[in-house]
Structure 1
Amino acid sequence: MKHLAALNKYFVKYKWRFLLGLICTTVSIIFSVFQPIMVRQIFDLLAQNIDNYRLISDTGIKGVFRSDFTKVLAFYGVTILLFALLSGFFLYLQRQSLIVMSRYIEYDLKNEIYQHYQVLDLNFFKMHRTGDLMSRITEDVSRVRMYVGPAIMYATRTVFMVVIVVYLMIDVNPLLTLYTLSPLPFLALTIYYVNHIIHRKSERIQAQLSNLTSIAQESYSGIRVIKSYVQEEASIRHFEQESESYKDSSVSLAKTDALFQPAMALMIGLSVVLTIFIGGIQVIHGNITVGNLAEFVIYVNMLMFPFFSIGMVASMIQRAAASQQRINEFLQIKPDIHNAPDATAVTLKGQIDFKNVSFTYPHTGIQAIQGFNLTVKPGEKVAVIGRTGSGKSTLAQLLIRMYDPQEGTVLMDNTDIRHIKLESLRSQISYVPQDVFLFSDTVTNNIRFGTPEANIETVKTAARQASIERDIEGFSEGFETMIGERGVTLSGGQKQRISIARGLIKNPNLLVFDDCLSAVDARTEKEIIGNLYAYLRDKTAIIITHRIFALFDFDKIIVLDDGKIVETGTHEDLLSLNGYYADLYARQQSGEEENIIE
């Protein structure tokens, strides 16, 4: 239960619903237990009046006696029916309180997990698969809901029912109660043993389900690669193998669950037999009445569902504990990237300083940047060029604080970015990543993703600057055309240009373009560069690229190799060095550029 203790805050939040559910449970049970009391009185009344009826069977008051007795039985019958209706009504209110409460908790828990996902840093998502994240917010939360709803409801009803019924049974005859309840310790041992098995199997099943979800998600996302390499059959076999493993584990758990009902049916059956046998002897000796015996049999049957529900509740709790443990593992993870206590919101002007920055990716151990120093003044345009793995994209990640350097500092306007609020920092930087991601939404909503308040004219202006407006107008529904998942309906160049438009529409003082023109043709590239040159006139821009834009007048060009600056200067300065940059330019001009860089 230590894992489920994390849910106590929700019980406190919905304490009035919870208390109302407990009150309705108690009232419902009280009306239920009145029924066997009424049955006892009926049986005792019958037993007392049978002999009297025989004595007056030949007299004139026989009809009157029968009429009065019938009215009494009718009264008891109507009373029992009324108690049953009242019990059912409060049972309905109980479900409305506790089950509805569980839905509210499910809603809150899903939101809590999703919000936590949003604040976790990039390294977390590189270490965990999407399918596993999805499984924890869907399947695991659903199992937890079964604990805070049905399990709590059945458990409280079971506890109240057992306490009240056993008290009434002891009040009638303690010895008969002892015999009736004697099989229950064996039932408790059975439940304890089976619960241990269920908990272990539930943990394994949830892990297998996460793996299965991840495989399916990766297959859907990479369906074009699977088809192009004709790996449909291999993908199906892999999924079938994992699905078979999940099925075997689920069947094994179902078989374990199946032990509960036969075990409890056996114990309840023994209780009924003992009640009738021992109770019959007690009736013969005059210790209890026939009505008491009938009352006891009804009590035993009333205890049947509570004891049946013990197994069901125990199973729900064990599964919920296994799922909540998995949820807690994520909720207890603290993001490495967070606002410092003294972080403030600032207005950025575009001054950037990298001071002796070194960074190693924690999930691979690869050192991407070492001893890096760079100063960019407001309004400057800087190009970053280098081979694959030279650390170009890492600079962009550090600048928008997806990661923090292990050594050195990154300053914005002479302020350490760790002392600037994340929201303030990122909202003032337009970052166009190398790995374009478009949402399954309209073209308009994808372009204004970071600025939802932008009107359609602003969207069209950004599209025009990114040289994508003509393409969009050629779509079936223009700017309201729905883009497939991850932009699957668009070409690589169209996706990149929409991503550029998304960055331009923010109109910030600082822009970072990470190799965002790799999929466009030379003519479109020249057009976009021309548009950017005018757009960036008074803005600070860092353009990471594998091509040399000779027509773009950069204030500074830096060449990276192994995370260090090996060449720096203007276009003419670097050509005069006859180094890497000059060699790249010559290859590009001759059309013989090789794939030695990004």
Structure 2
Amino acid sequence: MFKTFERLYPFLYKHRFRYLLGIIWIFLADVMQMFMPKVLGKLIDDLGSGALSFRSLLYGLLVILGSALLTVLFRYLWRMYIFGTARTLEYDLRNMLFSHLLTLSPNWYNRRKVGDLMAHATNDIGAVRFAFGGGVVMFFDTLILVTMTLFVMITTINLKLTLIAIIPLPLIAIISHRFGGLIHHRFREAQEAFSRLSERVQENISGARVVRAFVQEEAEIEKFNEASHQVLEKNTRLIRVQSIFQPVIQLFVGLSMLIVLIVGGGMVLSNTITIGDFVAFTAYLGMLVWPMRAIGWVINILQRGAASMDRLNRLFEETPDICDGPDTDYSIRTLKGHIEIKALTFTYPGQNKAALKDINLSVPPGHTVGIIGKTGSGKTTLVSLLARLYEAPPGTIFIDGHPIHRIPLSVLRGAIGFVPQDHFLFSMSIYDNIAFGVEKASLQEVEQAARMASVHTSIMDFPDAYQTMVGERGVTLSGGQKQRISIARALLKKPAILILDDALSAVDAHTEAEILKNLKQSPTPRTTFIIAHRTSAVEHADEIIVLDEGHIVERGHHDTLLAQGGVYARMVEEQSLRGHLEAIL
């Protein structure tokens, strides 16, 4: 179990004094509890012998009251120190997980589901926090209280009676060990079932429109019920173990009390101990009931925390496919956008067929390249490799003469403004969405980027203008508005390289022309890649390349390609004809 929590050792070392103070407060709280039974027993003996005076009664009551008040104070302090530190652990662990997730490559996310990751960030981290909060308190409270209580019982009352009373304790320890491993395994199964349920809920909420459009409500409810039943079944299996575990512990606690009543009662009758000693002993034994029960809870809590930490460790052990390596040249701080691609052939991990084959391309700084081709021809793959979302073979891509692998990732991606096909917007204001990635961007700068993306007028039509909240994934906006806001976000970075991956598909021809005109007239020099299905989006590019099944089958200027009468010319002709037919109809 200790190896499972190894990742948390730096945190525990950093906060060792807070935990130490918390344990000291637990110790002092337990010390205060030791006074009350002994004082009560003394008062009973004095009452029985007739030696009880008003002064001794008042003194005894004040000691009991003072001990109770100090116990309350010390319990407040250990809660602040231990529970407070556990909350800090939860905060740090959640930040660690979030930071780590952001380093992982897109291909990793293709294999994972959001619901599962959310379960890790909520349930699993919560279980670890409780292990280092309530679990730590129960462990040390049990250890200290049992040790002190037994010491007082042995030294001040009767050794023989104490030894008889603690006979069940070793049995409790053995049972706790046996049940601990079973609880760990079944709790992990329950957490994994909850992760699958979270995945189902997240997918249905995100795809609610699709579910309704295809009238799949009943089918999805049935799938949800099946996943929910799995959670119920796994938790029921866990509860079965816990339901046996706790009563068995209680059985041995009750057995201990029975032994004390029989043996202790006989000792009182034989005058071996006084009635006051018997009352005090019974009170001390009652104080041992909580630690005996807590043994089971401690094992349960720590095993749950260990199972959750086990799941988190598997996430932390995932490494990004793409990161800065030992040959990274950190002297490279800026890029101008001169791109060379030499004999690039690329195959996605786990695939047999190459997505790109023998690509050669030279793009001077400030030039615009149009990329045309049918779906699946490799257009997005090519620009994804430029941004190192996937790793290109060594020696195939150079930017400003530097091999792309040697450019620090932060410099490379900081120099690229990427507008992907999936134009994702965050659930915040339009201003915040456009300013995302640029610290302290002024409203004037944001508006300028929006004007270049031809979306400023649309934004000003909203009642709250740039402070309009867009909803999750930009649900309150049209497809064209989302695309243009994504373009504005990329332009605000003033990147050396701008990539528009089918980023004009949802806008009309007039708006498309306006955006392209703004980009061409922009005073900021940038190398631009425009991926499009409509040839009108690339006809003014400095060079157009036509991809087909990963190959460049044609390249050149718009007029040159038309004159060749090849694939590009046929696409222009087909789209022109389609436009005429739509106008007529």
1:367 maps to: 354
Shift of 1:255: 3.3
1:82 maps to: 66
Deviations 1:84-103 (A, max 9, x none): 22222212211111111111
Shift of 1:365: 5.3
2:246 maps to: 261
TM-score, normalising length: structure 2: 0.94
Deviations 1:158-191 (A, max 9, x none): 0111111122223243322221011223322332
Deviations 1:240-285 (A, max 9, x none): 2211221222233233222233222221111111112112333444
Distance 1:238 1:536, change over 3 A: farther
RMSD: 2.1
Q: Distance in 2 between matches of 1:160 and 1:26?
A: 6
> Is this contact kept in 2: 1:444–1:479, CA < 8 A?
yes
1:298 maps to: 283
Shift of 1:286: 4.4
Three-state SS of the structure 2 residue aligned to 1:588 is: helix
2:411 maps to 1:427: no
1:514 maps to: 501
Distance 1:160 1:471, change over 3 A: same
Return 286-295 or 538-547, whichever deviates more.
286-295
User: Which amino acid is the alignment partner of residue 290 of structure 1?
Assistant: I
Shift of 1:203: 0.8
Return 414-423 or 216-225, whichever deviates more.
414-423
User: Which amino acid is the alignment partner of residue 156 of structure 1?
Assistant: F
1:106 maps to: 90
1:5 maps to: 6
Three-state SS of the structure 2 residue aligned to 1:275 is: helix
2:101 maps to: 117
Return 347-356 or 275-284, whichever deviates more.
275-284
> Is this contact kept in 2: 1:496–1:516, CA < 8 A?
yes
What pairs up with 1:101-180 in 2 under 5 angstroms? 101-171=85-155, 172-180=157-165
Distance 1:537 1:9, change over 3 A: closer
Distance 1:575 1:511, change over 3 A: same
Distance 1:238 1:197, change over 3 A: same
> Is this contact kept in 1: 2:115–2:195, CA < 8 A?
yes
Shift of 1:453: 2.2
User: Which amino acid is the alignment partner of residue 71 of structure 2?
Assistant: S
> Is this contact kept in 1: 2:539–2:558, CA < 8 A?
no
Shift of 1:520: 1.2
2:173 maps to: 188
2:369 maps to: 382
Three-state SS of the structure 2 residue aligned to 1:127 is: coil
> Is this contact kept in 1: 2:366–2:526, CA < 8 A?
yes
2:392 maps to: 405
Q: Distance in 1 between matches of 2:538 and 2:194?
A: 54
Return 356-365 or 263-272, whichever deviates more.
356-365
Shift of 1:462: 1.7
What pairs up with 1:471-490 in 2 under 5 angstroms? 471-490=458-477
1:238 maps to: 223
2:296 maps to 1:311: yes
Q: Distance in 2 between matches of 1:38 and 1:488?
A: 70
Three-state SS of the structure 1 residue aligned to 2:337 is: coil
Structure 2 residue ranges without an equivalent (≥5): none
1:541 maps to: 528
> Is this contact kept in 2: 1:360–1:406, CA < 8 A?
no
> Is this contact kept in 2: 1:445–1:452, CA < 8 A?
no
Distance 1:541 1:593, change over 3 A: farther
1:61 maps to: none
Three-state SS of the structure 1 residue aligned to 2:425 is: coil
Distance 1:568 1:537, change over 3 A: farther
Shift of 1:508: 2.2
Deviations 1:437-491 (A, max 9, x none): 1111111221221224222222222222212122112222222211121111111
Three-state SS of the structure 1 residue aligned to 2:547 is: strand
Deviations 1:208-231 (A, max 9, x none): 111111111111111111111111
2:207 maps to: 222
> Is this contact kept in 2: 1:429–1:509, CA < 8 A?
yes
2:446 maps to: 459
Number of aligned positions between the proteins: 577
What pairs up with 1:45-64 in 2 under 5 angstroms? 45-47=46-48, 49-50=49-50
Q: Distance in 2 between matches of 1:578 and 1:551?
A: 17
Deviations 1:373-417 (A, max 9, x none): 211111211111112111111111111111111454321101122
Q: Distance in 2 between matches of 1:267 and 1:482?
A: 61
TM-score, normalising length: structure 1: 0.92
Three-state SS of the structure 2 residue aligned to 1:348 is: coil
Three-state SS of the structure 2 residue aligned to 1:557 is: strand
Shift of 1:592: 7.4
> Is this contact kept in 1: 2:538–2:544, CA < 8 A?
no
Q: Distance in 1 between matches of 2:553 and 2:429?
A: 44
Distance 1:515 1:37, change over 3 A: same
2:476 maps to 1:492: no
1:343 maps to: 329
> Is this contact kept in 2: 1:151–1:313, CA < 8 A?
yes
Three-state SS of the structure 2 residue aligned to 1:355 is: strand
> Is this contact kept in 1: 2:394–2:405, CA < 8 A?
no
Shift of 1:4: 2.4
1:414 maps to: 401
Distance 1:537 1:584, change over 3 A: farther
Three-state SS of the structure 2 residue aligned to 1:591 is: helix
Three-state SS of the structure 1 residue aligned to 2:110 is: helix
Q: Distance in 2 between matches of 1:300 and 1:325?
A: 37
Shift of 1:131: 0.7
Distance 1:33 1:175, change over 3 A: same
1:557 maps to: 544
Shift of 1:302: 0.4
1:204 to 168, 189, 205: 189
Three-state SS of the structure 1 residue aligned to 2:428 is: coil
Deviations 1:86-128 (A, max 9, x none): 2222122111111111111111111111111111111121111
Shift of 1:427: 1.4
Distance 1:593 1:134, change over 3 A: farther
Distance 1:550 1:98, change over 3 A: closer
Indicate the structure (1 or 2) with the bigger Cα radius of gyration. 1
What pairs up with 1:16-55 in 2 under 5 angstroms? 16-47=17-48, 49-50=49-50
> Is this contact kept in 1: 2:97–2:121, CA < 8 A?
yes
Distance 1:29 1:540, change over 3 A: same
> Is this contact kept in 2: 1:24–1:91, CA < 8 A?
yes
User: Which amino acid is the alignment partner of residue 368 of structure 1?
Assistant: A
Shift of 1:364: 5.0
> Is this contact kept in 2: 1:529–1:552, CA < 8 A?
no
Shift of 1:553: 2.8
Runs of 4+ in 1 over 4 A off after TM superposition: 363-366
2:425 maps to: 438
> Is this contact kept in 1: 2:424–2:474, CA < 8 A?
yes
Structure 1 residue ranges without an equivalent (≥5): 51-64
Q: Distance in 2 between matches of 1:91 and 1:229?
A: 58
